[in-house]
Structure 1
Amino acid sequence: MKWKLTGRFLLSVVLIVLFVTLINIVALFSMLIAGKPIFQSHQLNGEEFARNFQRYIVVSDDNIVISEDGKKELIENNAWIQILSENGSEIYRYKAPSGVQKKYTPLEIIQMYKYKEIDGDTTVFVGGEENAYSYFIGIKDRSIGRYVFTYNDENILNQFKTGSIFFMTINGIVALFIGYLFSKRLTKPLNDLIIGIRRLANNEYIMYDPKGVYKDVFYNMNYLSNRLKDNEKERRKLDQMKEEWISNISHDVKTPLASIQGYAEIMKDKDYEFSLEEMREYAEIIEKKALYMRDIIEDLNLATRLKNRELVLNKKIMNIVSMLRNIVIDTLNDSSYSDRNIEFHCSDEIINIDGDEVLLRRAIHNLIYNAIVHNDENVKIIVNVEKKERINIRIEDHGKGIKEEELERIFDRYYRGTNTGESHKGSGLGMAIANDIIGAHGGEIKVDSMIGCGTIIDIQI
């Protein structure tokens, strides 16, 4: 793109220079042609012909004639000859017009040479042998001419200055005009681009026809416009998801908060007498609701720090097998999931990894929890870890599966799957947090799922 623009500007300058130079040449050539017809395309040179004709003149005693070859040359060139003695009297003539004088004074000889004394089509040239004879050769040819002029150095200098100023002025005007045409052609697309950028700033998405020297620029403007349009769609969709998410979170927080508030009001009511067992039951409910709210707040805080890359990993060498086994055991020890069928398999008992144990535990727990809440109680969940080129962790189930449109958004913040039961609500950030934590450790998560066949989550670290 850079070289195209540079080449176009350079071409413009070169064309302007060439055009102005061409105008100067045409003007100069026209002046020369107008002032001196001798430059017209005619092969005969009268001066040279007259000077060289002497070889055809034959002098014997007091008799002077021309050879047969000389006569042929005169006929071929439509010319005639008149030979004069030293005193200007005619000695010999061949094909000379009848009106030509037979004797000339020195002044008449000069006049004969300088001007067309015979007729307007005939130019007379002079030749001769010093101290012997001279001759006139007249050539009748409209294309041959001769002009004798006088000049003054000062006048020529003044005319040169005047002509130079005139030519410079004309050249300047022509250059400005051509430069204006090229500049307009080059700057008009730029003005369109500037207007397009302003429209993009006002969220008006434009499309150009990519052509001309700025074809690549227009193409990229179209690409930018499409990207901004897509980003705007995505932003609106995200805003809608945020609103839905905030509404859900508000509802999910209000429910345990209402329970806490209700039990607290009952417990402080003086009209009621509670047994120790009832007090402990109420306290347990309040504690569960409070822990639920704490988990939501921690998810919000962790998701924000991961998104803004503000979380510093506390890495250390640890055995990933022991960590995964403990996660499975802790999940099964939870009374809510004690009846779930979760299996754990490993290729080796010790597979070390350099990572943040707290965050990795959180990520794996979120993924296992997601497999639990999206499936029925009788679905078996298999957790497997093995060491190949990288550490591979697989969480597999043969449950309901995930719809394709949901699979594309499973790691989006604020997104909740449609299969989640009412009893398993949360922040909606679990999968996004897991994806960010694995990504922070230089790994990646891939999800493969099919409705009715189950889901496989592959983690490569």
Structure 2
Amino acid sequence: MNIKRKLTIRFALQLATAGAFALLIAAVTLFWIIGRLNDTLISRDFASVGLAQLIESSELSEEGIRFAPHLLEQVKKNGGWLQSLDENGQVEQSYNAPQDVPKKYATGEFFSYWTGAQHFPYKLYLWIQEKDGRTFTLLYGVSNDRGTLLKQVSSQGSLSSNGILMLPNDVTARLKHLDGYVQLLDANGNELAAFNRPASAPTTYTLQELALRTMYNEKYGFHLSSLYVNETGNTWVLNLPNAYGTPLGDNWFLSTEARTILIGMFVMFLAILLSFLLLSLWQAHRFGVPLLHILTWLDELGNAVYQEPVDYRGIHRSRMRSGKWKRRYRIFADVMYSVDKLSSTLQRDQVLRQQTDSLREEWIAGITHDLKTPLVSIKGYAHLLAEPQYDWTAEEIRKFSGTMLEKSAHMDMLINDLAMSYRLKSGVRPPDSEEIELNNWLQEALKQAATNPFYKKETIVYQRSPTEITVNLYTPWLERVINNLVANALLHNPPDTILTVSVMPDKGGKGHTIQFADNGMGMDENTANRLFERYYRGTNTSSTPNGTGLGMAVSKGLIEAMGGQIIVDTALGKGTVIRLIWGKDDVVIEA
């Protein structure tokens, strides 16, 4: 899998995971908001909301009905009580019920209490529902302080002649206990008298003020109840503190529900923001660290440091101790492999360049020596001939001239080889070739090469091909290659070395091979691998006056320029075999 696909899949999965996590946060927030709103509704109006949930969450057991503990706890917080009735009005179970609540209700008695026809100190709520084949009848009661106190205040309270509100002792004690207050208003809403009124309470009410305080008790923190007296035109106002909240002050327009929703949304967006921030940091660590490592590595390559950067312990940052890629680097494995391969290539090229530079310097030094040595001889003999105090004989002059010609010829051969090596490197092609019969031509070429006075007699053995082979080649180049290979085999081996030259057609008749095999010392692997390099010399050029140090490089270039190839097979102590191989395009074989 390439890096493009890896990154696409990785980013798609991470975005999908981030989206799923954001949805999870939203879902958790939604459930929290619903739960908080439900708690608010239960605490505010347990009779309408809590009783239904109480029955839905109930379970039937051998001991009777079991209700959810948190709902029963809410009943107690609201100051209420709970009774479960059978069909005859008998109380089966009760929770937080006061002593003055009946244990059994007659049919008419219950409805008198429920409708308010008969005084009952508690406000009653009835819930009837069928579940699991059984009819549940729940009776929920809360203290009816507002109704009871307002009735007592309106019936027993009076205004004295000096403007003081007169109330029964039990009513005043109850008001103080509940931290409530009473006001008597005239027809215009102005306060005539009050009992236990706090300083923050108004002394004048408009119609709107009275309505708002009655409907929105959350803002003011008091439940307001009022009773208008037709005979006098006065209004009794009773205020009792909220049982489940404090006043909202100036933010009265933010209800408990609104605050719950705002808090939930704020927490949700904050959680999502923090999640994406952490994801971004994780992404930066997961993808940024490998990229910075790769950039550092490339920068090191630019500074000619061809090794992967390591940490302070000398360990590669991208790998574990076992050598495997670390998890965050695996996605960039293709890039890391490419950079590692580039590092190895550059390092190898640097070593090769250094070796090449060193060999070039050695080769130039050798060429300089090879040119200077015959030039010194020529210069020396020229000085001898030019000296007037010597009267050289004709024989001595011919000897000096012969030596000077021999050294000049060696310099000319060296310069020609040097020029030819550069021409071959630039891609020179051979002139027009000529058609020859290879067996006969090669036999004559070897006889001519064997006339070299530095070779011993009968050191070259020639083996003809059993069939005639007609080829189109540029013979001066081929002759030069043969002379170079013969010289390389006979001049750089022991004197008793035998060189066997064979002409062999291919089995399919599509090409031919000229093989030069000697039984000399052979070459080591390094010398064999670098035998045809222009800047590599296996022996010193001064080992023989006929050597230039370029023969093998020139031979390889000439053979390849004529469409062939040259290969070497050698080992120390086993001699050397060099083959010149041509394919079918330039060969015609005759039976």
TM-score by length of 2: 0.57
Change in CA separation of 1:255 and 1:14 when aligned onto 2, cut-off 3 Å: same
Partner of 1:62: none
Q: Describe how 1:15-94 pairs up with structure 2 within 5 A.
A: 15-36=17-38, 47=52, 75-76=64-65, 80-81=84-85, 92=89
2-structure distance, mates of 1:316, 1:158: 102
| Equivalent position amino acid for 1:95 in 2 | E
Partner of 2:580: 459
Secondary structure at the aligned position of 1:22 is classed as helix
Judge conservation of contact 2:410–2:545 (CA < 8 Å) in 1.
no
1-structure distance, mates of 2:17, 2:389: 103
Judge conservation of contact 1:382–1:397 (CA < 8 Å) in 2.
yes
In the TM superposition, residue 393 of structure 1 has moved relative to its aligned partner by 1.5
In the TM superposition, residue 238 of structure 1 has moved relative to its aligned partner by 2.6
Number of equivalences: 403
Query: Which structure 1 segments of 5+ residues have no match?
Result: 39-44, 52-70, 84-90, 109-115, 129-133, 141-148
Partner of 1:361: 479
In the TM superposition, residue 261 of structure 1 has moved relative to its aligned partner by 1.9
Q: Describe how 1:140-159 pairs up with structure 2 within 5 A.
A: none
Q: Describe how 1:112-127 pairs up with structure 2 within 5 A.
A: 125-126=127-128
Partner of 2:138: 137
In the TM superposition, residue 252 of structure 1 has moved relative to its aligned partner by 1.2
Secondary structure at the aligned position of 1:331 is classed as helix
Secondary structure at the aligned position of 2:468 is classed as coil
Judge conservation of contact 2:33–2:260 (CA < 8 Å) in 1.
no
Judge conservation of contact 1:314–1:355 (CA < 8 Å) in 2.
no
The yes-or-no answer on 1:235 pairing with 2:237 is: no
Superposed structure 1 runs of 4+ greater than 6 Å apart: 48-51, 71-74, 154-166
Secondary structure at the aligned position of 1:351 is classed as strand
1-structure distance, mates of 2:367, 2:442: 30
Partner of 1:197: 298
Out of 183, 187, 206, which is 2:307 matched to? 206
Judge conservation of contact 2:301–2:343 (CA < 8 Å) in 1.
yes
Change in CA separation of 1:13 and 1:254 when aligned onto 2, cut-off 3 Å: same
Out of 181, 197, 221, which is 2:282 matched to? 181
Judge conservation of contact 2:564–2:581 (CA < 8 Å) in 1.
yes
2-structure distance, mates of 1:313, 1:117: 123
In the TM superposition, residue 31 of structure 1 has moved relative to its aligned partner by 2.2
Q: Residues 345-376 of structure 1: CA distance to partner in whole angstroms, max 9, x if unpaired?
A: 22146324455544443333322220011123
| Equivalent position amino acid for 2:92 in 1 | K
Q: Residues 233-268 of structure 1: CA distance to partner in whole angstroms, max 9, x if unpaired?
A: 333233222222222221111111112222333334
2-structure distance, mates of 1:265, 1:30: 115
1-structure distance, mates of 2:61, 2:384: 146
Partner of 1:10: 12
Matched residues, percent identical? Answer: 26
2-structure distance, mates of 1:198, 1:105: 89
| Equivalent position amino acid for 2:306 in 1 | Y
Secondary structure at the aligned position of 2:543 is classed as coil
Partner of 2:589: none
Q: Residues 104-140 of structure 1: CA distance to partner in whole angstroms, max 9, x if unpaired?
A: 56699xxxxxxx977xxxx963569xxxxx9953599
Q: Please identify the structure whose Cα radius of gyration is greater.
A: 2
| Equivalent position amino acid for 1:329 in 2 | K
Out of 493, 513, 520, which is 1:392 matched to? 513
Query: Which structure 2 segments of 5+ residues have no match?
Result: 41-49, 68-82, 103-108, 142-215, 217-253, 309-315, 583-591
| Equivalent position amino acid for 2:364 in 1 | I
TM-score by length of 1: 0.71
Change in CA separation of 1:234 and 1:226 when aligned onto 2, cut-off 3 Å: same
The yes-or-no answer on 1:305 pairing with 2:305 is: no
Judge conservation of contact 1:12–1:182 (CA < 8 Å) in 2.
no
In the TM superposition, residue 222 of structure 1 has moved relative to its aligned partner by 3.7
1-structure distance, mates of 2:302, 2:26: 50
Judge conservation of contact 1:80–1:96 (CA < 8 Å) in 2.
yes
The yes-or-no answer on 1:321 pairing with 2:452 is: no
Q: Residues 358-404 of structure 1: CA distance to partner in whole angstroms, max 9, x if unpaired?
A: 44433333222200111234322111111114422210112232234
Change in CA separation of 1:322 and 1:24 when aligned onto 2, cut-off 3 Å: farther
Judge conservation of contact 1:402–1:455 (CA < 8 Å) in 2.
yes
In the TM superposition, residue 342 of structure 1 has moved relative to its aligned partner by 1.4
2-structure distance, mates of 1:48, 1:74: 21
Change in CA separation of 1:443 and 1:164 when aligned onto 2, cut-off 3 Å: farther
Partner of 2:406: 288
Partner of 2:92: 95
Change in CA separation of 1:25 and 1:447 when aligned onto 2, cut-off 3 Å: same
Secondary structure at the aligned position of 2:522 is classed as coil
Judge conservation of contact 1:342–1:380 (CA < 8 Å) in 2.
yes
In the TM superposition, residue 338 of structure 1 has moved relative to its aligned partner by 6.9
1-structure distance, mates of 2:265, 2:464: 96
Q: Residues 168-224 of structure 1: CA distance to partner in whole angstroms, max 9, x if unpaired?
A: 565344323302211221111111121122222222232443513234443444444
Higher RCO by CA contacts (8 Å cutoff, separation 6 or greater): 1
1-structure distance, mates of 2:123, 2:334: 73
Secondary structure at the aligned position of 2:414 is classed as helix
2-structure distance, mates of 1:185, 1:295: 66
The yes-or-no answer on 1:245 pairing with 2:363 is: yes
Change in CA separation of 1:11 and 1:317 when aligned onto 2, cut-off 3 Å: farther
Judge conservation of contact 2:428–2:561 (CA < 8 Å) in 1.
no
| Equivalent position amino acid for 2:530 in 1 | R
Change in CA separation of 1:398 and 1:191 when aligned onto 2, cut-off 3 Å: same
Judge conservation of contact 2:520–2:576 (CA < 8 Å) in 1.
yes
Partner of 2:460: 342
| Equivalent position amino acid for 2:469 in 1 | I
Judge conservation of contact 2:520–2:573 (CA < 8 Å) in 1.
yes
1-structure distance, mates of 2:404, 2:289: 71
| Equivalent position amino acid for 1:80 in 2 | S
Q: Comparing 287-296 with 354-363, which one deviates more in the overlay? A: 354-363
Q: Comparing 418-427 with 345-354, which one deviates more in the overlay? A: 418-427
1-structure distance, mates of 2:367, 2:418: 11
| Equivalent position amino acid for 1:369 in 2 | A
In the TM superposition, residue 325 of structure 1 has moved relative to its aligned partner by 2.7
Judge conservation of contact 1:339–1:377 (CA < 8 Å) in 2.
no
Secondary structure at the aligned position of 1:36 is classed as helix
Change in CA separation of 1:199 and 1:353 when aligned onto 2, cut-off 3 Å: farther
In the TM superposition, residue 333 of structure 1 has moved relative to its aligned partner by 3.1
